[in-house]
A and B are shown apart, each in its own frame.
Chain A
Amino acid sequence: MNRTLLEDLIEMSTIIVLVKQVPDTNAKIAVQGGRVDLSTVKMEMSPYDGFAIETALRHKEATGGTVTALTVGGAGTEKILKDAKAMGVDNIVRVWDDSWSELDSNALQSVLKESIESLGGTAVYCGKSAADTGAGSTGPGLAERLGWANASNVIGAEFGDAVTVSMPVEAGVAKVSVPLPAVISCDKGDFKPRKANVKGIMMAKKAQVELITASAPASTVVVASHSMPAAKPAGKTFEGGSSASQVVQLLRDEANVL
């Protein structure tokens, strides 16, 4: 079945939400032999992706269409797709090729571009950054590769022919009209991610993950090592409020920050 053609025929927008599996943000992180050891760490969906799913579902509720959650990852990442399904997305897709290991941003975004084109996406939502790298590169980088508009760190949205987003700018909060197709990255804002209900969880159990693949260019940025941050030298502690004047003096004379 040609998905793009079918969806064009029934004139529905295909909304795609990108999700990523990361370590539980409460987890302790340890480094073994120059690499982060995640073997005993619980993995979960990156927290900002919940805001992206909520925004995508509201987009669908306002304009019609379908919501597809997509992740790039090995078989172990299907749990977060099921979590997205339980929240109410229609389809869940995993993109993978067993020859891939660590994809740099160029490779990852190339894979996403190809996947989104083959799914016929018209609006893509993602978290403002993933809780592992915190980079926030995927939304804007993907938009550029698709030739689409993008908006980042969005805290509110209204849906129509364009999406009107609220986003922080230097002067305050701007309302910005983002023409579709577009990639929109979501921060914690007006929309609280909905909780999965029993029906959603049952549906998610039965749901099939669609597996697709794409071509990835060779990575030119490769991870060399992980390390623990240098321990901070012990600070100076003072008792009582009157010591605050001494601290001000030290901030000037020792730290040179005033």
Chain B
Amino acid sequence: MTNKIVIAELTKGTVNASTAELVSAAQAMGGDVTVVVPCTDASMADAVSGYDGVAKVIAVKSDVFAGNDSSGWASALDSAMPAGTVLFLATARSKDVAARLAARRGLSVVQDVVSIEGNNLTSPIYSGKANQTVAVNGDAVVSVRANVFSGVGSGSSNDVSVVDASGDVKTAVQDVMERASARLDVSEANIIISGGRGMGSPANFSHLEAVADTIGAAVGASRAAVDTWEEIPHSMQVGQTGKTVNPNLYIAVGISGAIQHLAGMRSSKYIVAINKDADAPIFQHADYGIVATWEEALPVFQDALSSLLG
């Protein structure tokens, strides 16, 4: 049983809570679990020092982790951690780093894992229309989807060793155009509320934004909405040619549920659909369906949320 090395996921400079899910995933593969925290300040590792079921925590300190250059990330991590099977969270940046790290170590990489039985790893293929199970012989680098494994508890006190590392950064950021809104991006949100052509106009997305603000959600869109209205950017698009998302809760409003939209969100843990057409395909995938216009349903939804959470 080889070592399992969990790379803590960083979101806006802090350790993402889904890192605890990676520890569970590593345990499902067997072997001792080491958590590696890429950081610019060793105190960032405090977030994982209490994790249960962890043999060791290594804080790898380097300036490269303040940036996005995947060569810098992979080389700094590689220099500071032992051999073994490595687990990342399946986010855009971490999948890139995972691929580079695997190549650096002459290993194969298995992305978007949603189920683990020993050395057998399962990932969705064909945008979730089927699953593929691969058998891994020896070490590999793996990325695991968020919200699939339940995270380990916390209550231990693990020692944290700190390693200074440098990385081989190859690209240079010239400029960042900040997102206009402070709202989350769909690819990083635990709750998403998306609007489709049924919203009628881009201005009506303000109703979705109000719900999003109440529950800390990101706002997404169907391709029809993105293609029809200039105000709705492609960065909001969920689906085959947009983003693949895996939130705890996905709320589809005025979206019919075309196969290409489902491709991007069908693996969400819970799906709510609001649509005026009882025959819309989205209802076949919804845990909770509301057959109504959004004009009728959203104000009630918003009020109920506000009184529950407000």
- Residues from chain B with a CB closer than 8 A to the CB of A2 are none
Contact at B100–A224, with CB atoms within 8 Å? no
Q: Is B203 an interface residue (CB 8 A)?
A: no
- Residues from chain B with a CB closer than 8 A to the CB of A250 are 288
**Which of B110, B130, B295 contacts A226, CB < 8 Å?**
B130
Q: Is B301 an interface residue (CB 8 A)?
A: yes
Closest to B12 in A: A170
Contact at B131–A134, with CB atoms within 8 Å? no
Contact at B249–A176, with CB atoms within 8 Å? no
Contact at A105–B249, with CB atoms within 8 Å? no
- Residues from chain B with a CB closer than 8 A to the CB of A214 are none
Contact at A135–B111, with CB atoms within 8 Å? yes
Chain B 108-137 interface 0/1 with A at a Cβ cutoff of 8 Å (1 = within): 111110000000101111111111111111
**Which of A151, A223, A239 contacts B133, CB < 8 Å?**
A223
Q: Dominant SS at the B interface?
A: mixed
**Which of B71, B103, B305 contacts A149, CB < 8 Å?**
B71
**Which of B122, B125, B288 contacts A251, CB < 8 Å?**
B288
Interface locus among A65-73, A79-87, A139-147, A195-203: A139-147
Q: Is B177 an interface residue (CB 8 A)?
A: yes
Report the contact-size class of chain A (Cβ under 8 Å from the partner). Answer: 35 or more
Whole-angstrom CA separation of A85 from B107 in the bound complex:
33
By the criterion of a CB under 8 Å from any partner CB, how many residues of chain B are at the interface? 97
Whole-angstrom CA separation of A131 from B125 in the bound complex:
8
Interface locus among B29-37, B55-63, B233-241: B233-241
Whole-angstrom CA separation of A163 from B155 in the bound complex:
48
**Which of A131, A141, A148, A172 contacts B102, CB < 8 Å?**
A141
Chain B residues near A (Cβ < 8 Å): 11-12, 68-71, 74, 92, 95-104, 106-112, 120, 122-138, 140, 170-179, 185, 188, 191, 215, 234-235, 240-241, 244, 248-249, 259-260, 263, 266, 269-272, 274, 278, 283, 285-293, 295-301, 303-305, 308-309
Chain A residues near B (Cβ < 8 Å): 23, 25-26, 28-29, 31, 36, 47, 104-107, 109, 131-145, 148-153, 155, 164, 168-179, 182, 188-189, 219-229, 232, 235-245, 247-252, 255, 257-258
